[in-house]
Amino acid sequence: MTTQESRKLWLACGVGLVWFLILLWPMLGIQPEGLEFAKTFKVFGYIAVAAVFIMFFYQIQEAGHLDIVGDPIKSATSNIGKIYEFLPRWALLGIVLAIAIIFPLVTGRYAHDVTISVLIYICLGLGLNIVVGLAGLLDLGYIAFYGVGAYTYALMSLHFGMSFWLCLPVAGVTAAIAGCIVGYPTLRMRGDYLAIVTLGFGEIVRLIFNNWMSLTNGPNGILSIPRPEIFGYQLKSLWMLYYVILAIAIFTIISVYRLNYSRIGRAWEAIREDETAAELMGVNTFLLKLLAYATGATFAGFAGAFFAARMRFVGPESFTFLESAMVLAMVVLGGMGSIPGVILGVLVLVALPEAFRGFELYRMLVFGGVMTLMMLIRPAGIWPAKRVGRRSEEAE
């Protein structure tokens, strides 16, 4: 590396650190007791030292002094890659499935809790992936359909005594209807306008949950929702519920996979690429966009019904805009349109914050930083959709 390049790098690093300080101080330094500087500089000092250390490390690596360490690692990763290619797909899937099935037997309650929320978000992420990743419609109010599913189960089971298994498809249908209701008037819009309208819809649904006292019990929420039963036996433990949501998630993954590689999936992608051109090719864009909305909403409805059964409580504050944004972040971070990508995105955004519980205070700071970094380094997501000729090859 030439001196000029290295000077440029150090300059960028320095400017970045100054920026960071400017951003950090208002967050840490402005206290109710007055202005404080010591704490800011303490935190800033740690980060500055870390940044300088990383810079040194990077420069040494660029200069090739680390090849002694780097080369074995590189060969090891390529070997792992070879094993991965060598194993047939079904074997890999089998291993993942086996791990998923054994998992609750060897772990505790806390792990069950986290994995259940991971699986719920997988359903949500994959559902949203249909709308955003395949059909290319930015939906900022997706969580509303999750809420509709949750309230459907809660109300149906409490008022009509319907079982969970009967309510699950009903929740899917009501969510799909909600999807059509929002879709019908709004899908004539494109891009930014659609995003704003869906954002509004999400809020409307939450406010309905919040204010329709006679039906939803308002902000108090609905309590003591019955647990799911199998042949009259109540699923009391968390690990039993784990298997329920695992089944729902697997169903979601298989359906989304099938949809992805179907004619409808191709038409969705064509709409995402160029709506007018798709229409000129004989694609009924309006109907297919409505279908994308309804299908995406259905999976959210399933997840919502399970959520109500698992928490045994639903309240409007579970369905805020922040949740919609989180699910969208999972899809974008993982890789739009890619099933393994979305699953990875969910794992990263649900499991990692759990792992970093120790840094409770800085969690959101780190979260924002990671998101920014990811979009800079891998804008297509962690596991981008592999789109190069996959289906065409299969057809031959």
Partner 1 sequence: MADNKTPILELKNVVSAYGRIQALKGISLKVYDGEIVTIIGANGAGKSTTLMTICNIIKAVEGDVLYKGKRINNVGSEILPTMGLCQVPEGRRIFPRLTVLENLDMGAFFRDDSANIKSDVERVFELFPKLRERRKQLGGTLSGGEQQMLAMGRALMSRPKVLLLDEPSMGLAPLLVQQIFNIIKMINEQGVTVVLVEQNANLALQCAQRGYVLETGKVVMEDDADKLLTNPDIRKAYLGE
Q: Would you say 229 or 273 has its CB closer to partner 1?
A: 273
**Angle (nearest 5°) at CA 372 between 367 and 376:** 145
Query: Minimal distance in Å, beta carbon 257 to partner 1?
Result: 17
Q: Is there binding between residue 394 and partner 1 (CB under 8 A)? A: no
Q: Would you say 203 or 279 has its CB closer to partner 1?
A: 279
Specify the amino acid at residue 368: G
What's the number of CA atoms in the CB half-sphere (13 Å) around residue 149? Answer: 34
Query: Minimal distance in Å, beta carbon 282 to partner 1?
Result: 4
Q: Is there binding between residue 387 and partner 1 (CB under 8 A)? A: yes
d(CA 369, CA 244): 35
Q: Token digits for 63?
A: 């200069």
d(CA 335, CA 128): 12
Query: Minimal distance in Å, beta carbon 284 to partner 1?
Result: 5
d(CA 354, CA 121): 14
Q: Find the helix or strand (DSSP H, E) in which 34 lies.
A: strand 34-35
Q: Contact with partner 1 (CB under 8 A): which of 107, 163, 217, 285?
A: 285
Q: Is there binding between residue 139 and partner 1 (CB under 8 A)? A: no
d(CA 106, CA 211): 44
Query: Minimal distance in Å, beta carbon 386 to partner 1?
Result: 11
Query: Minimal distance in Å, beta carbon 281 to partner 1?
Result: 5
Q: Would you say 261 or 356 has its CB closer to partner 1?
A: 261
CA–centroid distance for 339 within its chain: 11
Q: Could you give the string, one character per residue 252-281, with x where binding to partner 1 holds by CB under 8 A and - elsewhere?
A: -----------x--xx-xx-xxx-xxxxxx
Q: Could you give the string, one character per residue 217-256, with x where binding to partner 1 holds by CB under 8 A and - elsewhere?
A: ----------------------------------------
Q: Interface with partner 1 by CB under 8 A: which range of 14-22, 116-124, 154-162, 384-392? A: 384-392
Q: Contact with partner 1 (CB under 8 A): which of 128, 248, 256, 283?
A: 283
* Inter-CA distances, 260 with 252, 268, 272, 333, 390, Å: 12, 9, 13, 19, 12
Query: Minimal distance in Å, beta carbon 189 to partner 1?
Result: 16
**Angle (nearest 5°) at CA 178 between 171 and 312:** 35
Q: Interface with partner 1 by CB under 8 A: which range of 20-28, 118-126, 174-182, 382-390? A: 382-390
> Would you say how long the chain is, in residues?
396
Q: Would you say 188 or 312 has its CB closer to partner 1?
A: 188
Q: Would you say 332 or 349 has its CB closer to partner 1?
A: 332
Q: Would you say 271 or 349 has its CB closer to partner 1?
A: 271
Q: Could you give the string, one character per residue 156-195, with x where binding to partner 1 holds by CB under 8 A and - elsewhere?
A: ----------------------------------------
| Sign of the torsion angle spanned by Cα atoms 247, 304, 383, 366 | negative
Q: Would you say 106 or 395 has its CB closer to partner 1?
A: 395
- Alpha-carbon Rg for the chain, nearest whole angstrom, is 24
Choose among 154, 90, 173: nearest CA to 307.
154
For partner 1 (CB under 8 A), the number of binding residues is 25
Q: Would you say 296 or 337 has its CB closer to partner 1?
A: 337
Q: Contact with partner 1 (CB under 8 A): which of 61, 220, 262, 284?
A: 284
Q: Contact with partner 1 (CB under 8 A): which of 22, 355, 361, 388?
A: 388
Choose among 79, 97, 77, 101: nearest CA to 89.
97
User: What is the three-class DSSP state of 222?
Assistant: strand
Specify the amino acid at residue 103: F
Question: Are the C-beta atoms of 198 and 325 separated by less than 8 Å?
Answer: no
d(CA 140, CA 197): 8
Q: Would you say 207 or 281 has its CB closer to partner 1?
A: 281
**Angle (nearest 5°) at CA 296 between 293 and 297:** 80
Q: Is there binding between residue 389 and partner 1 (CB under 8 A)? A: yes
Q: Would you say 189 or 371 has its CB closer to partner 1?
A: 189
Specify the amino acid at residue 10: W
* Contact positions vs partner 1 (CB under 8 A): 263, 266-267, 269-270, 272-274, 276-285, 387-389, 391-393, 395
